[in-house]
Amino acid sequence: MPERVFYHFTKCLFRLFFTLYNRLETRGLDNIPKNTPVIVASNHASYADPPLIGCVFPGRLRYLAKESLFRVPLLGFFIRALGAVPVKREDSQRAGAVMKNLLYMLKNGDSVLLFPEGSRSPDGRIKPLEAGAAYLSVKAGVPVLPVYVSGSFYAWPRGKMFPRPSKLTLTVSRPIYPDGVSENERGKRTFMMNALEDSLLAMEAEANVR
């Protein structure tokens, strides 16, 4: 019970911070599937992305974070409360170990957060995607939920110690399901990869027009 209370407190605290400091706007939250685990696949341009997505998502998201982040005063405390799981540097370099951990979480009924670009974008633009989200979706039989965060690169870019009060917008697109798109696993993964990339790039293009 204390852990659950602290989780909700942390979530509300981050939501309040982003709303007041960054004028957070959310779109498409009704696209989030109910009563099923999902893979939230987002662009990644800032350290602000994981707590931002975590405080907006209606359920608890699990995600892997570098073990070193948990040694940062307060930050490690709060990201653990939001669902972060520490991963050692040597494990983060072994794709098999990472996929095994995430697959276990999904099959245990947890939703997970992935950044398919692999690391933070150096310029705020979407980089080529890695195949992890598509692989996990097909293996676990769960949908991928594309999410695009606009403004986080300007709010907290690489090299900055503290975030700026730049506006943030979080957009959730329609979920992508792996069922019924191909008779074989490879075909399903290819479909999921292409559909996810198309969705993220479309949201990026729309954000740049506004």
pLDDT tens digits, one per residue of 141-190: 999 999 999 999 999 887 777 889 999 999 999 999 998 776 788 899 99
pLDDT tens digits, one per residue of 84-94: 777 765 554 45
**Domain coordinates in residue numbering, the chain:** 2-209
pTM of the predicted model, to two decimals?
0.89
Tokens of 48: 């602000």
Name which residue leads in pLDDT, 113 or 118.
113
CATH class of 2-209: alpha beta
Nearest to 83 by CA among 112, 115, 42: 112
Query: Of the ranges 64-78, 122-136, 137-151, which one carries the lowest mean pLDDT score?
Result: 64-78
The CA-atom distances, in angstroms, between 137 and each of 19, 51, 107, 176 are: 31, 23, 11, 9
Task: Give the model's confidence band at 32: pLDDT under 50 very low, under 70 low, under 90 confident, else very high.
Answer: very high
pLDDT tens digits, one per residue of 39-63: 999 999 998 898 899 999 998 898 8
Task: Give the model's confidence band at 2: pLDDT under 50 very low, under 70 low, under 90 confident, else very high.
Answer: low
